[in-house]
Each structure stands twice: as C-alpha cells, then as structure tokens.
Amino acid sequence: MVLLELRIDTASSSLERLFQVNNFNECVVITAWNPIGRIAHQVEENRKDNQRLWDKLLGMGYLVLPAWGVPDAPVWPPEASWLVLGLSKTKGLNLAEEFAQLAFVHCALDKQNKAVPRLVWTEGSSQENNDAFKSTTYMTAPLDIHQGTSLQMWLRGTGARRFQYSAVPSDHALFQTPYEDGYLIWLDA
C-alpha cells in the first residue's frame, strides 16, 4: 500500500486528507541522496548522508515519513527521501542547500485548500533536469502493517510507541492516515 503519490503541479486529494487529519498545511519531500558535484558518490555514502538528514529532521522535532523519488524514465535510480510534515519552504531550501541538492518538493494548501506539490530549485542550480524532476513520482514508502522494519521507521519518524486501527480519526494521535475504510493511528503510549 502506498500512502501518497505526489506529482509536480498536480493536486493531491490524499495529501489534502493527510493534512486535514493531522492539522498540517504544508510539507516537504527532501533527500540527501546524490549530492551535486559528487559524481562517484557511492550507495553507502548516500545512506550515511540520508541518515544524517533523518537525524537532523527528527532533532528539529518534525514528523518524518520514509519516502521515495521514482523517475518515470531511467534517468537515475529511485532515491530514498523523507516526507516532512510541517516543514516550511524556507527551511526546506536551507536543508536542501546544506545537503547539496539541486531541488526539493514543497507542498502547501492553496486558497482553495488544494495541496499542489511544487518543485523548488536551490540557488545556483541550472535546472537542466527540470523535465526529469517533473516526471518523477514522489511517494511515501510502502507501508505494510505486517512488516516490522517498515513500521519501526514509521514509529520512530512520528515519535509514537504503538499504532492501532480505528474506524474514526483520533484527537489524541501523534499521526494518522486513512487506511482501507478507517484510519491507522500512531499513539504515544
């Protein structure tokens, strides 16, 4: 099951629902994968950089969900990313520049309460891969409620200790998402 699939400049009703049930109005999809100018960046270096970004985001108190950037064409391999609820465009830009990224995705509710992902370029980026970035699906990692590793990442990223299924949203959830005909709710205790 995929929680969200985001496309640049295309409204996302699932993101609108996620914002609504969690009282957020913006988020960022960001990675530390494949920094600019490091042609020979290896998988292990990418993992370490992305772990540093994850730790920094959690240390800043954000709710962080595992995500992927998957290009339509094989321009680059899928990149492990983070969907960060509540992170502003300005702070996203600062982090993208700190981790040497060309761009990141910012999503915010507009005046009609539509959530539209927009590509944000870092200063000095040439935007030469504009079409490749726009033809990428940015999605949260598949959530399998029976797969321990996936759940541990989600629990850690939300600050929760456990989760449960509920037919209705909760006022006491740290994070919740529509799931089948109800909600998965992450709780503190």
Residue 123 lies in a domain: yes
Residue 60 lies in a domain: yes
Total domains present in the chain? 1
Q: What is the pLDDT of residues 54-67, one digit of tens each?
A: 999 999 999 998 88
Per the structure, the complete domain to which residue 57 belongs is given by: 5-142
Question: 149 falls in which pLDDT band (50, 70, 90)?
Answer: low
Residue 176 lies in a domain: no
| Rounded Cα–Cα distance for residues 139 and 141 (Å) | 6
Residue 80 lies in a domain: yes
Q: Is the pLDDT of residue 151 over 80?
A: no
| Rounded Cα–Cα distance for residues 122 and 94 (Å) | 9
Q: Is the pLDDT of residue 124 over 70?
A: no
Cross-strand bridge partners of residue 65: 83
State the pLDDT at residue 88. Answer: 97
Q: Is the pLDDT of residue 1 over 60?
A: no
Cα distances (Å, whole numbers) of residue 188 to 54, 111, 116, 185? 20, 33, 30, 10
Residue 180 lies in a domain: no
Cα distances (Å, whole numbers) of residue 18 to 13, 75, 85, 117, 189? 9, 30, 10, 14, 22
Within 10 A of 87 (CB to CB), how many other CB atoms are there? 24
Give one word for 126, left, alpha or beta, with left for phi > 0 and alpha for psi -120 to 50: alpha
- Write the single-letter amino acid at 109: L
Residue 112 lies in a domain: yes
Residue 96 lies in a domain: yes
Residue 148 lies in a domain: no
Q: What is the pLDDT of residues 71-115, one digit of tens each?
A: 887 777 778 899 999 999 999 999 999 999 989 999 999 999 999
State the pLDDT at residue 70. Answer: 84
